[in-house]
Structure 1
Amino acid sequence: MSDDPTHVQEFFGPRAAGWDSRFPDDGPAYAAAVAELGLRPGASVLDAGCGTGRALPALRAAVGPAGTVVGVDLTPEMLAEAVRAGRDGTGALLRTDVARLPLRGGTLDAVFGAGLVSHLADPAAGLRELARVVRPGGRLALFHPVGRVALAARHGRLITEDDLRAEHNLRPLLSAAGWQMVSYVDEDDRYLVMSVRQGH
């Protein structure tokens, strides 16, 4: 699949309606990943590429009623499913490109990105934009409820050395964008990379 914005919408749009029912057991994995962000009540967090908003309830629970939760996605059908599921009540939903966020610099405490990196048209630019909107010391969680091998098998593929989500590829990409990788987990039932925003 090509990763330019039009193709992302073409891929996810027709799949939006049945998306949550295809993966009904992912909720606890999302909640566990959100917990690792260490969000405090009152914090501001972005769900980048939020899809149907599966992470939004856990993000809202973490930051509490005084916190700010924003979900952004490129695909209107996915956002419509988030609204249908009632998840718009847990955070503000915006249709926008992760590479061009309508947010001021340094305003967020954290970013959560499920299945995000492999769908960015320009991963380096996307990660730089996420760094722009996060304060120094803020955190980025790149998550998927299954690891790279399991995900590739689901699509009938093998993982290759040039896989963007492999640690040896992702670490320098994050670093160049202003993030320092602090942990990397790639197991059958979990993929989670935690990074900290560099700078003062």
Structure 2
Amino acid sequence: MVTGEPFGLPHFQLVLLRRMADHQPGLVDDALRELGASHTDMREANRRWQARLHSRTFPGGERRYRTALGPPRSERRQRVGDLVCTALLWPVPLWPDLRFEVLVAPGGKAILNEWLVRAADAPAPALRTAGDLTPWSCTVEDAANAFPPATPLPPDAPTRAVVALTTPGTPGRTIAHFTWGLLQFTAPESPQNPQNPKHPQNPEKR
């Protein structure tokens, strides 16, 4: 991959992988080989994306994503409280059954959420026990639908989500950790501090 070429979907996939590398380095290495990219490519793509996020001149809001990823494959309206927002969805070749969703507030300038979701025409994975919650197997919505009630917990870094799930046959709750909406790992709920289960990996790096 040529790092100096215009930033597009191939580079953005590397940004997604960069945030997952601390949790699942083996899966990330496999994905890099599939994409024909290196760790250097991944770091450079993330550096370029971070520069866009902090630039005073680069477009913000939904324009940031349209500029990088092109027109969304689909759009849908989604109500968030009293707001009628727009969900923009792009295909992600690395995960054919998923879409990258950007939830935009009215006016297009404020981004409320951005993560991977299950494509509308893709079947949800079969999740029956905690053992089915394997890395990269499901999205936040997949897990929440399979194991209600699901309780969001405070995330420990941007792009992450943490959800407490009630899984059959498991004492206490199962704490599922997601990056960009995709499951990275699970851990038993800590009885000492159930709102902040111990993180088994290194802190996420930029």
Fold agreement, TM-score > 0.5: no
Report the TM-score when normalising by structure 1.
0.26
**Higher helix residue share:** 1
Structure with larger Rg = 2
TM-score normalized with structure 2 length = 0.25
